Protein backbone atom coordinates (compact mmCIF):
# COMPACT_ATOMS: atom_id res chain seq x y z
CA UNK A 1 0.00 0.00 0.00
CA UNK A 2 1.20 3.50 -0.84
CA UNK A 3 0.62 5.57 2.28
CA UNK A 4 1.06 9.30 2.65
CA UNK A 5 2.00 10.57 6.11
CA UNK A 6 0.96 14.12 6.96
CA UNK A 7 2.08 15.35 10.36
CA UNK A 8 1.60 18.65 12.12
CA UNK A 9 0.09 20.30 15.14
CA UNK A 10 -3.18 20.86 13.23
CA UNK A 11 -4.05 23.66 15.63
CA UNK A 12 -6.49 23.84 13.93
CA UNK A 13 -6.56 21.87 10.70
CA UNK A 14 -7.68 24.07 7.80
CA UNK A 15 -8.55 23.94 4.11
CA UNK A 16 -4.96 24.44 2.92
CA UNK A 17 -3.89 21.32 4.86
CA UNK A 18 -6.67 19.33 3.23
CA UNK A 19 -5.93 20.63 -0.26
CA UNK A 20 -2.22 19.79 0.02
CA UNK A 21 -3.05 16.26 1.15
CA UNK A 22 -5.45 15.81 -1.76
CA UNK A 23 -2.99 17.12 -4.34
CA UNK A 24 -0.19 14.88 -3.07
CA UNK A 25 -2.56 11.90 -2.95
CA UNK A 26 -3.31 12.38 -6.64
CA UNK A 27 0.22 13.27 -7.74
CA UNK A 28 1.81 10.26 -6.02
CA UNK A 29 -1.08 7.86 -6.64
CA UNK A 30 -1.46 7.18 -2.92
CA UNK A 31 -3.91 4.63 -1.55
CA UNK A 32 -4.42 6.67 1.59
CA UNK A 33 -3.14 9.63 3.57
CA UNK A 34 -2.72 9.28 7.33
CA UNK A 35 -2.94 12.51 9.32
CA UNK A 36 -0.74 12.33 12.43
CA UNK A 37 -1.30 15.20 14.88
CA UNK A 38 1.84 15.82 16.92
CA UNK A 39 1.60 15.28 20.66
CA UNK A 40 4.80 17.07 21.68
CA UNK A 41 6.38 18.73 18.63
CA UNK A 42 10.11 19.33 19.22
CA UNK A 43 10.30 22.63 17.33
CA UNK A 44 7.27 24.54 18.53
CA UNK A 45 4.93 25.10 21.43
CA UNK A 46 1.28 24.11 21.06
CA UNK A 47 -0.35 27.54 20.91
CA UNK A 48 -3.03 27.90 23.52
CA UNK A 49 -2.01 24.55 25.02
CA UNK A 50 -4.85 22.93 23.07
CA UNK A 51 -4.93 19.26 24.13
CA UNK A 52 -4.05 16.51 21.69
CA UNK A 53 -7.55 15.07 21.98
CA UNK A 54 -9.10 18.30 20.68
CA UNK A 55 -6.70 18.60 17.77
CA UNK A 56 -7.22 14.96 16.82
CA UNK A 57 -11.00 15.39 17.01
CA UNK A 58 -10.84 18.36 14.64
CA UNK A 59 -8.78 16.33 12.16
CA UNK A 60 -11.20 13.40 12.37
CA UNK A 61 -14.15 15.72 11.78
CA UNK A 62 -12.46 17.45 8.84
CA UNK A 63 -11.64 14.25 6.94
CA UNK A 64 -14.66 12.14 7.92
CA UNK A 65 -16.17 12.14 4.42
CA UNK A 66 -12.98 11.38 2.48
CA UNK A 67 -12.45 7.62 1.89
CA UNK A 68 -8.73 8.11 1.24
CA UNK A 69 -7.99 10.07 4.42
CA UNK A 70 -7.61 8.72 7.96
CA UNK A 71 -6.38 10.03 11.31
CA UNK A 72 -4.00 8.22 13.63
CA UNK A 73 -3.26 8.92 17.30
CA UNK A 74 0.09 7.12 17.41
CA UNK A 75 2.02 10.25 18.41
CA UNK A 76 0.08 10.35 21.70
CA UNK A 77 0.76 6.69 22.42
CA UNK A 78 4.47 7.16 23.15
CA UNK A 79 6.30 9.41 25.61
CA UNK A 80 8.55 12.32 24.73
CA UNK A 81 8.81 14.58 21.71
CA UNK A 82 7.30 13.57 18.35
CA UNK A 83 10.48 13.09 16.32
CA UNK A 84 9.80 12.13 12.70
CA UNK A 85 12.62 9.59 12.54
CA UNK A 86 11.07 7.64 15.44
CA UNK A 87 7.61 7.95 13.92
CA UNK A 88 8.73 6.23 10.72
CA UNK A 89 10.50 3.47 12.62
CA UNK A 90 7.18 2.74 14.33
CA UNK A 91 5.24 3.01 11.09
CA UNK A 92 7.46 0.38 9.47
CA UNK A 93 6.75 -1.93 12.42
CA UNK A 94 2.99 -1.36 12.22
CA UNK A 95 2.66 -1.48 8.42
CA UNK A 96 5.64 -3.51 7.16
CA UNK A 97 4.29 -3.81 3.63
CA UNK A 98 3.60 -0.12 3.06
CA UNK A 99 5.60 2.35 1.00
CA UNK A 100 5.56 5.66 2.86
CA UNK A 101 5.42 9.18 1.45
CA UNK A 102 6.18 11.88 4.02
CA UNK A 103 4.38 15.13 3.12
CA UNK A 104 6.11 18.34 4.23
CA UNK A 105 6.20 21.94 3.09
CA UNK A 106 9.14 23.60 1.42
CA UNK A 107 9.87 25.77 4.46
CA UNK A 108 10.12 22.69 6.67
CA UNK A 109 12.33 20.96 4.12
CA UNK A 110 14.72 23.89 4.06
CA UNK A 111 15.04 23.53 7.86
CA UNK A 112 15.44 19.75 7.84
CA UNK A 113 19.03 19.80 9.12
CA UNK A 114 17.66 20.90 12.51
CA UNK A 115 15.60 17.70 12.78
CA UNK A 116 16.76 14.77 14.89
CA UNK A 117 18.83 12.31 12.79
CA UNK A 118 17.49 13.96 9.64
CA UNK A 119 19.79 12.02 7.31
CA UNK A 120 18.17 8.71 8.32
CA UNK A 121 14.75 9.96 7.25
CA UNK A 122 15.70 9.67 3.58
CA UNK A 123 16.25 5.92 3.99
CA UNK A 124 12.99 5.40 5.92
CA UNK A 125 10.50 7.12 3.62
CA UNK A 126 9.97 8.83 0.33
CA UNK A 127 9.76 12.55 1.03
CA UNK A 128 7.22 14.69 -0.81
CA UNK A 129 7.87 18.42 -0.66
CA UNK A 130 4.82 20.56 -1.38
CA UNK A 131 5.93 23.90 -2.79
CA UNK A 132 4.35 26.96 -4.25
CA UNK A 133 4.80 27.42 -8.02
CA UNK A 134 7.64 29.79 -8.83
CA UNK A 135 9.68 29.05 -5.72
CA UNK A 136 12.72 29.96 -7.79
CA UNK A 137 15.09 26.99 -7.73
CA UNK A 138 15.55 25.12 -11.01
CA UNK A 139 17.81 22.46 -9.49
CA UNK A 140 16.19 20.65 -6.54
CA UNK A 141 19.58 19.17 -5.58
CA UNK A 142 20.56 22.63 -4.41
CA UNK A 143 17.86 22.37 -1.75
CA UNK A 144 19.46 19.26 -0.26
CA UNK A 145 21.75 19.59 2.75
CA UNK A 146 25.33 19.66 1.51
CA UNK A 147 26.33 16.83 3.85
CA UNK A 148 24.05 14.32 2.09
CA UNK A 149 23.88 15.71 -1.45
CA UNK A 150 26.15 12.98 -2.81
CA UNK A 151 23.66 10.33 -1.63
CA UNK A 152 21.21 11.33 -4.39
CA UNK A 153 21.07 10.97 -8.12
CA UNK A 154 18.54 11.99 -10.74
CA UNK A 155 16.21 9.19 -11.78
CA UNK A 156 15.20 9.58 -15.45
CA UNK A 157 12.23 7.21 -15.20
CA UNK A 158 10.47 9.05 -12.39
CA UNK A 159 12.10 12.45 -12.99
CA UNK A 160 12.74 12.66 -9.26
CA UNK A 161 15.83 12.57 -7.08
CA UNK A 162 16.56 9.09 -5.78
CA UNK A 163 18.36 8.37 -2.52
CA UNK A 164 20.92 5.55 -2.39
CA UNK A 165 18.36 3.58 -0.33
CA UNK A 166 15.98 3.67 -3.30
CA UNK A 167 13.61 6.18 -1.68
CA UNK A 168 12.65 9.22 -3.69
CA UNK A 169 12.59 12.95 -3.07
CA UNK A 170 9.52 14.29 -4.86
CA UNK A 171 8.47 17.90 -5.39
CA UNK A 172 4.77 18.61 -5.91
CA UNK A 173 3.46 22.06 -6.80
CA UNK A 174 0.60 23.00 -4.48
CA UNK A 175 -2.34 25.33 -5.02
CA UNK A 176 -1.49 28.57 -3.28
CA UNK A 177 -3.94 29.10 -0.42
CA UNK A 178 -2.94 31.83 2.01
CA UNK A 179 -4.36 30.19 5.12
CA UNK A 180 -2.52 29.66 8.40
CA UNK A 181 -3.50 28.18 11.74
CA UNK A 182 -1.97 31.22 13.44
CA UNK A 183 -4.31 33.58 11.58
CA UNK A 184 -7.32 31.39 12.35
CA UNK A 185 -6.50 31.47 16.06
CA UNK A 186 -6.14 35.24 15.91
CA UNK A 187 -9.52 35.63 14.22
CA UNK A 188 -11.23 33.45 16.81
CA UNK A 189 -9.61 35.41 19.63
CA UNK A 190 -10.93 38.60 18.00
CA UNK A 191 -14.40 37.02 17.72
CA UNK A 192 -14.28 37.23 13.92
CA UNK A 193 -15.49 34.75 11.31
CA UNK A 194 -13.33 31.81 10.18
CA UNK A 195 -15.83 30.72 7.53
CA UNK A 196 -14.18 29.44 4.32
CA UNK A 197 -10.85 28.96 6.14
CA UNK A 198 -11.75 25.70 7.87
CA UNK A 199 -14.40 23.06 7.17
CA UNK A 200 -17.74 23.96 8.81
CA UNK A 201 -17.45 20.99 11.19
CA UNK A 202 -14.13 22.35 12.45
CA UNK A 203 -15.58 25.82 12.94
CA UNK A 204 -18.42 24.26 14.91
CA UNK A 205 -16.00 22.24 17.04
CA UNK A 206 -13.93 25.35 17.84
CA UNK A 207 -17.08 27.23 18.83
CA UNK A 208 -18.61 24.39 20.85
CA UNK A 209 -15.39 23.80 22.80
CA UNK A 210 -14.52 27.49 23.22
CA UNK A 211 -11.05 27.04 21.71
CA UNK A 212 -8.66 29.93 20.99
CA UNK A 213 -10.71 32.48 22.87
CA UNK A 214 -8.04 33.40 25.41
CA UNK A 215 -7.36 37.06 25.88
CA UNK A 216 -4.10 38.65 24.79
CA UNK A 217 -1.82 37.81 21.91
CA UNK A 218 -2.31 34.47 20.19
CA UNK A 219 0.96 32.56 20.09
CA UNK A 220 2.46 31.50 16.75
Measuring CA to CA, how many Å separate 72 from each of 42, 145, 214? 19, 30, 28
- Residue 220: is its pLDDT beyond 60? no
Q: Is residue 121 part of a domain?
A: yes
Domain count, the chain: 1
Q: Quick check: 58 pLDDT over 70?
A: yes
| Residue 53 maps to a domain | yes
Beta bridge partners of 162: 153, 168
- 218 confidence band (pLDDT: 50, 70, 90): very low
Share of residues in the chain with pLDDT > 90 (%) = 79
Q: Is residue 152 domain-resident?
A: yes
Reply yes or no on whether the pLDDT at 34 is more than 90.
yes
Identify the domain containing residue 164 by its residue range. 2-178
Greater model confidence, 159 or 30: 30
Q: What is the value of pTM for the model shown?
A: 0.92
CATH code, 145: 3.40.50.620
Residue 185 inside a domain? The answer is: no
Residue 203 belongs to a domain: no
Domain contains 44: yes
> Of 188 and 176, which is predicted with more confidence?
188
Mean pLDDT on 169-191:
94
pLDDT at 92: 97
Output 137 or 41, whichever has higher pLDDT: 41
Amino acid sequence: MRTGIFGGTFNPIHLAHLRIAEEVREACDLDRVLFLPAAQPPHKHIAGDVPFANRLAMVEAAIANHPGFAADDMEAQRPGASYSVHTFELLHQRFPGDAFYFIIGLDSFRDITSWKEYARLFSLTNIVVAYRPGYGNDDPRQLLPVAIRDQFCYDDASQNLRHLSGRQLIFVAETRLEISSTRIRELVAQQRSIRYLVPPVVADYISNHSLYRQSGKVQA
